[in-house]
Amino acid sequence: MSDAVWILGITMTKFGKHADKDVIDLAAEAALGALADGGVSMTDIGVLAAGNLMGGGAPTGQLIQKQIGQTGIPVFNVSNACATGATALRTTIMAIKAGECDMGLAVGVEKLAGAGLLAGGSAKTDGNHWTPRGRYGSVAGVDGRIGTDTMPGTFAQIGMEYGHRYGGASFELFARISEKNHAHSTLNPLAAYTKAMSLEQIMGDVMIAYPNTRPMCSANCDGAAAAVVVSDAKLKTLSAEQRRRAVKVAASVLTSDPWEEACQILPNVNTLTRNAARQAYEQAGVGPEDLDLVELHDCFATAELVHYDNLMLCPEGGAVDFFNSGAPWRDGSTPVNVSGGLQSKGHPIAATGIANIWEICHHLRGEAGPRQIEGARVGLAHVIGLGSACGVHILERSAA
Amino acid sequence: MSAQIPLVDYLALGDRPHLVAHECTACGARFFDRRNACASCSATEFRDADVATDGELRAYTIVSFAAPGIPVPFVAGVVDCAGTSVRSNIINVDPTPEAVRLGMPVRLATYSLGIDDDGVEAIGFGFEPA
Ligand SMILES: [Zn+2]
C-alpha cells in the first residue's frame, strides 16, 4: 500500500498586470485551468484550500466556489505570509493523507500590481504629546527609527550577514544573481518581466535597500495558481494519460522558526529552511545532488544566496562559490529559478507557493518547451514567509 | 533641565544611557518587548539585564525608501553587544557602503526626537562608530 499523493492537474495564470480581472476572476481562471489540466471537475473535489494574503479576511475559497461550483465541500481559507500558497497545497495534501477525501483543490491568488514598497507598519507619532504605546512602550514609530521593518531592508541584512560570516559576497555578486534570474525569464512567457538585464543595468538601477536595487527585489504583480491533488488509490482508477502526467509529491513539509538568539531582532530565515529541507530530503529519500531543478524563494537577490546554503545545494558556507561556479544557471549542475524567480517572473504573494510547483511539474512532465530542463526527474520548490513559515515540496516524475 | 522620555521603554536614560533587556531567569534568553512568556523555554519569570553599550556591527542595509516621516537614506543594522543582538540604526556615519563596514566596532549614542507641548523631550538611540 502506498499513501503517496500526486499532483493531477496544475496551472498558473500569466503573471503581470490584469487590470480587467478581479481576484476571483484570476482565482477562477487558475482553478478551472487546474481541473481541466487534471481531466476532472468540481464534483470530483472533496476539499478546497484557498489563499489570498491581501484579501483582508474575505472567504476567498467560497467566493471561488460561487463562480465555479458550490458543491458543499469543506473550505479552508489559509493565510501564512509568503508561504500562503504552499500552505493551501499542504492543507489539501494533509486532508488526503488523513483519508478525508481522495481529491483536493488548492488555489493561491493575489492582486498586487502597483502596490509599491511593502513596508512594515510604522505607528504614527501621536500629535503633540509623547505617549508610550505597544509592546515596546514606544512614543513614536520604531520602523525606520530602530532599524527597518521593510522587506527589502530585512532581506538585505540577511544577505549581508551571510556575507559577513563567510566572506566573498558583494553588491556585484548579489546583482549577478539577479542577472541570472532576469536572463532565465526570457524563456518564460508567463513571467511578469521577460527582458534580460545587464549587470550594469541592475547595479545602476534605483537603490531600494543596499545592496538590493529595484530589479533585485521581487516584482509586485497580479496572478493566480492552482493545483488538483489526488490520492494514490484514486489515481490508479484514472486513465493512462492522467497517470502518465501525474507528478508525485515525494515530500511536503511546512516549518516555522524555532527560537534562537537574535531571531526576534532580525528574522532568521535560515534555520527553518534548513529544517524543512532536511525533513523533505528524508521524506523523499533523495539528496540535494539528486535535484534536476530548484525553484527557491528569491524574494530579493540577497535571499537567493542564503537559500543555496539552507537547501544544502552547497556545503555550509559555500553559497558564493556555488554561484560563482555557474551551478544555478539553467545550464549548470543545479539549475535554480529557471522560471525567472520572484525577481522576474513576479511575486503575487499567495500564488507563488503553487506557481513554483507548477514550474517544477512543467519540467517533470517534459512540457516546458524552450526552457525545458532535459530529462528532469526530481525537483524542489521552496517558499518562505516572514513571521516565519517555510514550505518545501519535492516533486518526482511519474514512472507510469 | 526639561523632562525626558525614551523612544522605547527598554532605553534607560540618565548619565549613562543603556538598553535593558528582559532576561528569562530559567534559560537566559533576552527580549526587548513586553513578555507573556519565554519564546525559548516558555518560562514566565524575567529579570532586567543591562545590555553592553559597545558592540560590533554584524549586518546592515542602507534604506532608501521608508515609511512616511523617516528621513532617507539611513543605515539599519544588527549590533552584537557582547552576545546580545540589538536592532538599531547606525548613526553619525555617512550612509554609504564606503563608510559603513561589517564588523566595525560601534557604541550606543542618543539623540533628541523633539519636545512636545508639555516640554517633554523624547530621546532615541542608535549606534555610532566607536
Ligand atoms: Zn527561557
Of A49-63, A123-137, A200-214, the least confident: A123-137
User: pLDDT tens across A294-333, in order?
Assistant: 999 999 999 999 999 999 999 999 999 999 999 999 999 9
Indicate the number of domains in chain B: 1
The domain of A382 spans 151-215+251-397
Q: Are A52 and A101 part of one and the same domain?
A: yes
**CA atoms within a 13 Å half-sphere pointing along the CA-CB vector of B110:** 21
8 Å CB contact of B9 and A136? yes
Q: Are A196 and A62 part of one and the same domain?
A: no
Q: Are A100 and A196 part of one and the same domain?
A: no
User: pLDDT tens across A1-30, in order?
Assistant: 458 999 999 999 999 999 999 999 999 999
Q: What is the least distance, in Å, from the CA of B38 to any CA of chain A? A: 10
Q: Are A296 and A342 part of one and the same domain?
A: yes
Which of B4, B5, B7 to mutate: most A Cβ within 10 Å? B7
Query: Which is it for the CA torsion A91, A93, A98, A101, positive or negative?
Result: positive
Phi, psi of A379 (to 5 degrees): -140, 160
Q: Are A192 and A299 part of one and the same domain?
A: yes
pLDDT score, position A116: 62
User: Is A142 among the domain residues?
Assistant: no
**CA atoms within a 13 Å half-sphere pointing along the CA-CB vector of A311:** 34
User: Is A164 among the domain residues?
Assistant: yes
> Would you call A79 helix, strand, or coil by DSSP?
coil
Q: Are A42 and A87 part of one and the same domain?
A: yes
CA distance A280 to A311: 10
> Would you call A399 helix, strand, or coil by DSSP?
coil
User: Which letter, b or e, does each residue of A195-205 get, where b requires 16 or more Cβ atoms within 10 Å of its Cβ?
Assistant: eebeeebbbeb
User: Is A31 among the domain residues?
Assistant: yes
Residue A388 CB neighbour total at 10 angstroms: 20
CA distance A214 to A205: 6
8 Å CB contact of B40 and A138? no
Residue from A337, A251, A299 nearest A4 by CA: A251
Q: Are A371 and A231 part of one and the same domain?
A: no
pLDDT-derived band at A128 (thresholds 50, 70, 90) equals: confident
CA of A257 to the centre of ligand 1 (A): 16
pLDDT score, position A123: 44
Which three cell numbers mark A161? 550577514
Q: Are A204 and A301 part of one and the same domain?
A: yes
Which residues, including other chains, have CB under 8 Å from residue A127's CB and lie 6 or more apart?
Answer: none
Q: Using a CB cutoff of 5 Å, list residues around ligand 1, an ion.
A: B 24, 26-27, 29, 38, 40-41, 43
pLDDT score, position A2: 56
Q: ipTM, 2 decimals?
A: 0.96
User: Is A140 among the domain residues?
Assistant: no
8 Å CB contact of A129 and B67? no
In this prediction, residues A78-97 reach a mean pLDDT of: 97
Asked whether residue B73 carries a pLDDT value surpassing 70, the answer given is yes
Which residues, including other chains, have CB under 8 Å from residue A254's CB and lie 6 or more apart?
Answer: A83, A86, A87, A90, A276, A389, A390, A391
Q: Are A162 and A83 part of one and the same domain?
A: no
Q: Are A157 and A203 part of one and the same domain?
A: yes
User: pLDDT tens across B9-47, in order?
Assistant: 999 999 999 999 999 999 999 999 999 999 999 999 999
Of A147, A161, A259, the CB nearest to B87: A147
User: pLDDT tens across A236-245, in order?
Assistant: 999 999 999 9
Indicate the number of domains in chain A: 2
CATH code, domain with A68: 3.40.47.10
User: What does each C-alpha distance from A388 to A256, A312, A393 come to in angstroms?
Assistant: 6, 20, 17
Q: Are A289 and A278 part of one and the same domain?
A: yes
